Chain A
């Protein structure tokens, strides 16, 4: 069975500090990978997706970047956090058909 693990579970960071969130998928070869962002109490918005190693497409500009260094790993990062980056970040995977997305447990970020 496929498993998806996100880290860290939660972070409190200062404005202007760097951020790195990670996501690993096990049990699935060459998955499509996605990053979604959820504002506190709000709906979800797709940020990035990747269909293969080294290729990442940006969907929304939020002063964030993403990378896919390995087939099973997806990284979300920024060099300078903004207050507006606070929220819940969810990684998801799908097979190559992309018909159904399966989400991880999420990483909660509070920027102060």
Chain B
């Protein structure tokens, strides 16, 4: 069965610093990959997605992610964070043509940006 691992439960960074959130997946082929962000007491917002092609994908709010087939990873990055980036970030995958288009989520990484 497929799975998503986010090894860092919490990350604290200073405002203006760079941020990298790690995500590794387990699946025999290349899945669809996503990063979602959840702000306090809100739903999930899609940051970016990868289906195929260029392994570096650009998302909203200056986030980008890089897909690596050899490492089975899809790490999220931002060059310079703002205090408003404090949130929980979820990596997720789905399988092409799967019944119910089920998303398998990681446990999330809580990001705290210090002023």
Binding site for B on A (CB under 8 A): 6, 32, 34, 36, 42-46, 49, 57, 59, 90, 94, 98-106, 108
Q: List 24 A-B contacts (CB under 8 A).
A: A32-B101, A34-B101, A36-B103, A42-B107, A43-B90, A43-B105, A43-B106, A43-B107, A43-B108, A44-B44, A45-B105, A49-B100, A49-B102, A57-B99, A57-B100, A59-B102, A90-B43, A98-B94, A99-B94, A99-B101, A100-B32, A101-B46, A101-B101, A104-B43
Q: What range describes how many residues of B lie at the interface?
A: 20 to 34
Grouping DSSP codes into helix (H, G, I), strand (E, B) and loop, the A interface class, with mixed when no group exceeds half, is strand
- Judge whether B34 and A100 touch: CB under 8 Å: yes
- Judge whether B44 and A103 touch: CB under 8 Å: yes
Grouping DSSP codes into helix (H, G, I), strand (E, B) and loop, the B interface class, with mixed when no group exceeds half, is mixed
Enumerate chain B residues within 8 angstroms of A102, measured Cβ to Cβ. 46
CB distance from A28 to the nearest CB of B (A): 15
Enumerate chain B residues within 8 angstroms of A44, measured Cβ to Cβ. 44, 90, 103, 105
CB distance from B35 to the nearest CB of A (A): 12
CB distance from A64 to the nearest CB of B (A): 16
Enumerate chain A residues within 8 angstroms of B105, measured Cβ to Cβ. 43-45
Enumerate chain B residues within 8 angstroms of A45, measured Cβ to Cβ. 105
